[in-house]
């Protein structure tokens, strides 16, 4: 089953991603238009201090609420995955990590975007504060990985990237 792309145009261009509108011909000859978000990729980090994870409380405009989530962010053009993870960890938590373990990649929303997200487990953390970004309101907390994995499984933690990353980290560390 193969659909054919007939046309593509940029509808909107932002700082790090763009909205592209695609005209598509399905195998049953139906023609439709769909929006796709072209995204350079992102990372999510599970920063461990012993048995605890540094986790963020951050306001999200799209939800109009503050949520619990792991440090994460968008890659710069041609930025290496690990370089992006190191940058985001320091920017969002004020820490650096000595040890980095890649836990794979996921497509967070393949029906909407071509974004690929890399997951990292970071440990041996040390303070390395940076000035806070003016557009981010972040509080850093520590919680046991075991508790966060339970929250991911029972639905109390709803941020998809954090759910996947925490469960991969717990499985890697054999903690759930």
- Stated pTM of the model: 0.94
Q: What is the pLDDT along the chain (176 residues), one digit of tens a residue?
A: 689 999 999 999 999 999 999 999 999 999 999 999 999 999 999 999 999 999 999 999 999 999 999 999 999 999 999 999 999 999 999 999 999 999 999 999 999 999 999 999 999 999 999 887 777 789 999 999 999 999 999 999 999 999 999 999 999 999 65
Range of the structural domain that residue 13 is part of: 4-38
Do 31 and 66 fall into the same domain? no
Do 105 and 34 fall into the same domain? no
| Alpha-carbon gap, residue 35 to 176, rounded angstroms | 38
Do 62 and 85 fall into the same domain? yes
| Alpha-carbon gap, residue 95 to 82, rounded angstroms | 15
State the total domains in the chain.
2
pLDDT in tens, 9-25: 999 999 999 999 999 99
Do 60 and 125 fall into the same domain? yes
Do 50 and 98 fall into the same domain? yes
Do 9 and 90 fall into the same domain? no
Do 53 and 130 fall into the same domain? yes
Do 98 and 14 fall into the same domain? no
Do 9 and 61 fall into the same domain? no
Query: Could you tell me if 86 and 165 are in contact, meaning their C-beta atoms sit under 8 angstroms apart?
Result: no
Do 66 and 93 fall into the same domain? yes
Predicted pLDDT of residue 136: 78
């Amino acid at each position: 089953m193969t659909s054919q792309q007939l046309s593509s145009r940029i509808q909107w261009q932002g700082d790090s991603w763009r909205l592209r509108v695609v005209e598509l011909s399905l195998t049953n000859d139906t023609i439709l238009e769909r929006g796709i978000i072209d995204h350079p990729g992102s990372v999510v980090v599970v920063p461990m201090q012993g048995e605890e994870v540094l986790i963020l409380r951050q306001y999200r405009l799209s939800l109009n609420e503050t949520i619990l989530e792991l440090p994460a962010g968008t890659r710069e053009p041609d930025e290496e995955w690990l370089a992006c993870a190191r940058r985001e960890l320091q920017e969002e938590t004020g820490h650096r990590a000595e040890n980095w373990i890649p836990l794979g990649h996921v497509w967070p929303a393949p029906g909407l975007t071509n974004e690929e997200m890399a997951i990292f487990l970071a440990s041996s953390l040390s303070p390395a504060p940076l000035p806070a970004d003016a557009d981010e309101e972040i509080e850093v907390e520590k919680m046991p990985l075991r508790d966060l994995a339970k929250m991911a499984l029972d639905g109390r933690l709803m941020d998809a990237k954090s759910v996947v990353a925490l469960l991969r980290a717990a499985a890697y560390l054999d903690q759930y």
